[in-house]
Every structure is written in C-alpha cells, then in structure tokens.
Amino acid sequence: MDKVVLVTGANSGIGLALCERLLSQDSGVRLCLACRNSGRAEAARSALLTSHPGARVDLLDLDVGSVRSVLRAAQEVKARYPRLDHLYLNAGIMPNPHVDIKAFFKGLFSSKAIQMFSTAEGLLTQQDRPTADGLQEVFTTNLFGHFLLVRELEVLLCGAGRPSQVVWTSSSNALRSAFSLEDLQHATGTEPYSSSKYASDLLSLALNRHHNAQGLFSSVICPGLVMTNLTYGILPSFFWTLLMPIMWFIRIFTNTLTLTPYNGAEALNWLFLQKPESLDARAKYHSMTSGLGNNYTQPRQMDVDEETSEALYGKLLELEKVMRRRIREGPDRL
C-alpha cells in the first residue's frame, strides 16, 4: 500500500505547498487534506488534481479548534485508512496580531534587525478568546486539538509494521519565556502564539519518549519567515510594500527569510524523505533559503528539557480526560 499522508491546514499557504511538493515527488502518495473550510479545501483539491490528474486526494472536515470536530474527524480517518504513515500538524492561528511600531523601528535600525525579522521577538502581541469548549482558542488550535488528534489516531500510527511520522509546524518565535505550566493556555499573557509553539516543541519531545518503542516518531520544523495570509495581516499592505525590498536585502545575511510557501515547506518535504527513526528528537528542522534562492534544511537544537515536557504531557492528558467527560455529559454527544 502506498503512503497515506494527512495534513492539517492544507487548503492554503505552507500546507498546500507541501501537498504540491509531495505529489510532485511521489505520485503514488494518498493525501488527506484536513481543513475547517470545506469550500477552500475543495478548491485546493481541484488545484492539486489539475496539476496532478492521477493523484488520490481526499478531504476531511476538521477544525482543530473544536474538541468535538477533532473526535468526529478522527473516527472518520480510522474508518477510511488502515494506517497513517505521515501526520503533518500544520494548522495554526495568530488572531489579531499587533506590532509594537516603536519597537519595530527601533529594532530596524539596530544590530538586532536580523534577529527581529527572524523571530519577531518582542514585536508581536495577539488577542486570544475562549472557544465553545471553554478553552483558549490559540492553545486549542495550535496545540491541544493536534494533541487530541494524535491520541485518537495512535491506533493507525503505532505498530503498523513500519515507522510513522508526526511533524509539528512550529516557529522560531517559540520562546521559553512566553510559556508557563501554571498558565498552560496562556489566558493571562500577551503571546499565546509563541507559548503554543513552544509547547509543541515540548510535546514533540514527550511523544518520542512515550511512543518511539511503538514505531511513532515526532519531529518539529520551522518554516522561516513566510509571506502568507497570516503574515500579511500583521501590518497594513503599504508597510509590506515598503518592507519587501529590505527583506530581500536582509536575506543576503540570514537564510531564515524563506518568504514563499514553497520555500517554507522545504523542511516538511525533507522530513518526508528521511527515516523517522534516524532523526534527532531534540532538533527543530528549519527551512532555509539562501540569498541565491537555494533551499535546504538545517537542524538546530531546541531549548527544551525532559522534565518540563513530561509535565506538559501529563497536564494535557488530564485536560483530555476533563474534555471527554464534558462531552459525554453534555447534550451534544458524539
């Protein structure tokens, strides 16, 4: 049987670029586009089939920001496929990001300009909100929904006769300083995106510790600075018109400005070609693009430790039990 690959957030940006690249190098792969917007998902599927007429591309209705949606979608996946070879946890949100303009211009003309463009450290704040499940939206969409999806699909990922791979789309903005075990959902902070991405780094480490023996291997990537709808929403359009020449110039000095979704998907695509068991569980695999436009993948050690990752894993398991109990006791039963 050919490889079965499920990609969350696959209807645009890096997720769609990854699907295009996978089909270009392995026409036999069976793709499942897991998206919350059915119209955009169908458009993405049509675009993929136009460029790859013989491809097998399935659609899955999935909103990782909804516990019920995750559980329903997982049941459908288990009914469709006997196993999963690759699970790309790519969907994510950064709602209503705001830039500290003063900090931006101060950093632009300083020695920290490259670091600022690479990580957005100290520049971005976001407005979060609770979901219908009573959880913080960024935490649920970027982390907990994906954690629950992995938990539900363990039967397809573990013990299938050959290693399976789970890949998290993280960020260079995943900072330890933004994360707290005491405020797991980042309800009181101003950097929920950074917190959720750091948590995904920690969780990947824990998944490897708990599931490598069963054949499940987890990795983390950073796509670099990619111009997508999420990125363009951070600043007014005229700012990007002014900034793009500067960004192309800065790319001469740092290769983390990948800029296009195709380039940003480089590490995701590279991991597809590797043996999962040969990868470094503590590395984040970065998509890189040189000043001449050449793409490559570079591993960098993550700022994570086993004690914190294990504590996070335990807290997520506890939250999973709470949410399952609420659903069983609630009127909208699965």
Closest residue by Cα to residue 287 from 17, 51, 72, 48: 17
Closest by CA to 41, choosing from 6, 68, 83, is: 6
For residue 309, the Cα-to-chain-centroid distance in whole angstroms is: 18
CB under 8 Å, gap of 24 or more: what pairs does 263-266 form? Answer: 263/224, 263/226, 263/287, 263/289, 263/295, 264/13, 264/14, 264/17, 264/223, 264/224, 264/226, 264/228, 265/14, 265/17, 265/18, 265/21, 265/223, 266/223, 266/295, 266/296, 266/297
Helix, strand, coil abundance in the chain, percent, nearest 5: 45, 15, 35
Catalytic annotation, pick one of 81, 88, 193, 198: 193
Q: Please identify which residue in the block is written with the tokens 């599927």.
A: 45
Residue found by looking up tokens 């999935």 in the block: 62
285 catalytic residue (yes or no): no
Q: What angle do CA 151, 155, 157 make, to 5 degrees?
A: 80
Q: Which residues belong to the active site?
A: 193
